[in-house]
A and B are shown apart, each in its own frame.
Chain A
Amino acid sequence: MVKHIFTIIDDYLSVDNQLGERVDITIPGTDIIIPDELAVDITNAINDTKDAAIAAINNNSIPNYTVTITASSSIGYSTISFILPDIAILRSVQSSDIDITAVIINNSNVSLPCYLTGNSTIKLVGNIIHSQQLITLTLSPLPSNRSIQLPNPAITTYPTYPIASGCWVPSESKIVLLGYSGNTNYGYIFDQYNNHISTNLYNISFGLTPVQYIPINNCIYITNGSQIVPYYFATISYGLPLTLSGTIYSQSYNADDNILYVGTSTGLYIINPANNNIINYINTYTYCSYLTYINTGTQKLLVIARNNISPSNPVILDARTLQLIASYDYASGNIYTAQPCYHAATQRIYLAMLNNVINAMGHIKVIDINPSSSTYLQLIGTINNVYARWALLVGDRLYTSSSVAGSNSTVSIVSIPSHTVTNVSMPISSHVTYIYHPIHNAIYVCSINGIITILPHHA
């Protein structure tokens, strides 16, 4: 029921003696019929409010507070236990004094974020590094009878040209893509907004080719077959092409020494981007399908994933001397190893592998490259049943995807701290290239089918 008050302010009705008189009218709400137009407006307003709330949750703008715990447990693998009275969402547990490998709440292993229902028994399991431990818990308050449902990643898709590969270009603040060579008309450079960048096309048709951004020259190195050529954004022009031995499969840039590693079917090249000259070539390791340069702070390593041969063993080299540091007997025959991914916080390499013939789900090998660890250079774990043909690691999330043949379209999102796997269905796509967009904080999954799928990245 809504009560309205009207006051007579004019003599329109020629009842002067009633001027200023007040009339109270009560309208019963149950008898109100809302016009369709108004109902749509109300629905939209509710949806806008809901979307804003979800956006606020995604942006972590809901209020947080921290609780600090101190302990003095012995160094080594152990458990720190405490009781927390809070009713809240536990968002993170951070400490530089313990390498936390598990969080147990009321005797159950949990992944964060999770709910604390009050007086929770919390156990932190991990490797205690320092004799005194300072632990910071980040929480969001909850009324005792409320909960917040965290939303699933919102995936969006839009059409573009068939994509061979691409990369993030900081100087342009956008993703730059190469057209697929299946139709030579598509052999051009364009951006994430479907705008052509290069009208001065080099006479090559882009295949499934690696592309690498070189910041010091503000250029990308584009490959095609046995040729590699720089494209300079400042002058919108190509440099001189270099012809290498074999088919070019991979690139990785060493920003510390400003050198570009290029892997081919016959060996490994080192190129100086400053003058676009070849510095070195070794043919010790053939079929260099993927290269990953790693600077751990104390080591500079080059990891090579070697496919198409048997045995196709991954190797780790000293990035400067190219001397062998370690080789592994994990793969043979039709096994494909995806881009080796380095997780800096744990100093571990994640190698996604699958059988490229049967296109089954694969697995991820975990190698320890912390030189102070007792398991240095050893296999320390395996994550099973993941889609493992392509791989990209951003923050604490490892994104791997289904077969290059595209028979199914699923991304496995692996949480590095917990090694839990979440599979996310994607629109049909194949020959995908993962590119991280740091401004949008999202993974752009770019397909030869001319589809870009945007997958929000959640830290």
Chain B
Amino acid sequence: MHNKMYIRISDSGVIDAIMLYPFFGAIEVPYNDDVFNRPWDYAYNGTDFVSLPTDDIF
């Protein structure tokens, strides 16, 4: 089980990319299974993940 993950946030606050490993421009955050599997449904405000209105794309 993972205890951390890495996210890169776009200028608009949505998750640009998410990985279990560090990558360019990413910040380390606690692992969140929902966010990791559906990152397009979440934004990050610097502290917490915020649910976005789902468009049920995936």
Smallest CB-CB A-B distances: 8 pairs = A381-B19, A418-B24, A109-B25, A101-B22, A380-B20, A383-B17, A419-B17, A355-B57
Interchain nearest-CB distance for B58 vs A (Å): 6
Chain A 92-114 interface mask (CB, 8 Å, partner B; 1/0): 00000000011100000111000
The interface residues of chain A lying within 8 Å CB-to-CB of B19 are 366, 380-382, 419
Interchain nearest-CB distance for B33 vs A (Å): 11
Cβ of A375 within 8 Å of any chain B Cβ, yes or no, is yes
Interface, chain B (partner A; CB < 8 A):
8, 10, 14-26, 36-37, 39-40, 55, 57-58
The interface residues of chain A lying within 8 Å CB-to-CB of B10 are 385
Can you pick out 19 interface pairs between chain A and chain B where the beta carbons lie within 8 Å of each other?
A: A77-B22, A102-B22, A102-B26, A111-B24, A125-B22, A330-B58, A354-B57, A355-B57, A379-B37, A380-B19, A380-B21, A381-B21, A382-B17, A382-B36, A384-B16, A384-B18, A384-B40, A417-B23, A417-B24
Interchain nearest-CB distance for A100 vs B (Å): 10
Q: Are A382 and B23 in contact (CB under 8 A)?
A: no
Among B15, B16, B23, which residue has its beta carbon within 8 angstroms of that of A101? B23
Q: Are A420 and B58 in contact (CB under 8 A)?
A: no
Cβ of A294 within 8 Å of any chain B Cβ, yes or no, is no
Complex Cα spacing A125 to B55, Å:
35
Complex Cα spacing A358 to B18, Å:
24
A384-B23 contact given A330-B58, A331-B58, A363-B40, CB 8 Å threshold: no
Among B15, B24, B36, B57, which residue has its beta carbon within 8 angstroms of that of A358? B57
Cβ of A335 within 8 Å of any chain B Cβ, yes or no, is yes
Interchain nearest-CB distance for A328 vs B (Å): 11
The interface residues of chain A lying within 8 Å CB-to-CB of B16 are 383-385, 421
Chain A 51-68 interface mask (CB, 8 Å, partner B; 1/0): 000000000000000000
The interface residues of chain A lying within 8 Å CB-to-CB of B24 are 101-103, 109-111, 417-420
Q: Are B20 and A382 in contact (CB under 8 A)?
A: no
Cβ of A288 within 8 Å of any chain B Cβ, yes or no, is no
Q: Are A375 and B20 in contact (CB under 8 A)?
A: yes
Q: Which has the most chain B C-beta neighbours within 10 Å: A366, A382, A420? A: A382
Chain A 366-390 interface mask (CB, 8 Å, partner B; 1/0): 1000000001001111111100000
Complex Cα spacing A382 to B16, Å:
9
A363-B14 contact given A102-B22, A382-B39, A418-B24, CB 8 Å threshold: no
Q: Are A384 and B22 in contact (CB under 8 A)?
A: no
Cβ of A360 within 8 Å of any chain B Cβ, yes or no, is yes
Chain A 63-86 interface mask (CB, 8 Å, partner B; 1/0): 000000000000001000000000
The interface residues of chain B lying within 8 Å CB-to-CB of A381 are 17-21, 23
Cβ of A218 within 8 Å of any chain B Cβ, yes or no, is no
Chain A 109-125 interface mask (CB, 8 Å, partner B; 1/0): 11100000000000001
Complex Cα spacing A126 to B22, Å:
7
Complex Cα spacing A120 to B54, Å:
43
Interchain nearest-CB distance for A327 vs B (Å): 16
